[in-house]
Structure 1
Amino acid sequence: MKHESITILRYISILQRNTNRYFDLTLEPDQIGSGQQFFLLRIAEHEGITMYDLAKLGHFDKGTVTKAVQKLSEQGYVYLEPDPHDRRVRHLYVTEQARPLIERVYRLRDHWTDSLTRELPPETQEQLLHTLQILAERSCQTLEEMQSSAP
């Protein structure tokens, strides 16, 4: 059986690695990187979210979320408040110190997206986004099916 050396996964991997490098380089002065920027934006968009819900939202394991939140907390960008009804649950909020950084991350994200897609016609950009959304949803479904059928 002949295996193809070039697949869609190769290009997705290159895009992901380069995107991570872009955020690592541009956010270095803020002492966060590609790993934390996703969580910072989701916390800002969902003030009071729990770590459990943050993990579900981004399809991350609990350890990854814990490490990212801890780093953001150490940098003074987020804080945790215990739930008044269940002390084991912690709600996440961004600090005032984080607000300018959040706006900067949105600008950086928009700039990166524009630099990647600017030569594509708008309809191609829309189709690409739609296709990637379908692939992401299918990947989640496939993994959920695998996990639910595992012994």
Structure 2
Amino acid sequence: MTGEGLSLELASGAATAVNGLPVACACLHNGRVVFSDGVALYRVGGDSDDGVAIPVRLTLPPVICPGPARLAGLALDGLADGQAAITAVSDAGTQSWGELGPAGRDGLPGRAACRFGRGYGHSWSISLQADDGALLAIAALEARFTDLDRRP
């Protein structure tokens, strides 16, 4: 996944801008968000964004299906104050768009879902772009696939 302007310091509400850094994985460790580009570890933190909203865009590694499949939908568990635009592209060139959110209420996590109607492929790459300045705390993302007929 590639991070472009992540806002991740949940405990203090501080935001840190990251542009163009390839993020191989991210996790919460001892209350801090830590991510790696596959070579080094980085701690996301800080105490000021100077009042400027930082947009969030995540591109997840491709999901590979055992056979041809259609991306039926994407579900987000966590907190999302605004809308998140979803873009999904398959290895066959199919592109799908949708929106999900908001999710959660009164500080408690919830679930939001986005459905896709068409398309096919063996591998799907999914991107999520959230509203500028809106809270986004992702606990889990779940892609749902429909297996397609394998006959020629």
Shorter-chain TM-score tier: under 0.3
Question: Could you say which structure has the higher helix fraction?
Answer: 1
Question: Could you say which structure has the higher strand fraction?
Answer: 2
Alignment TM-score, normalising by the size of structure 2? 0.23
Alignment TM-score, normalising by the size of structure 1? 0.23
Give the greater-gyration-radius structure (CA): 1
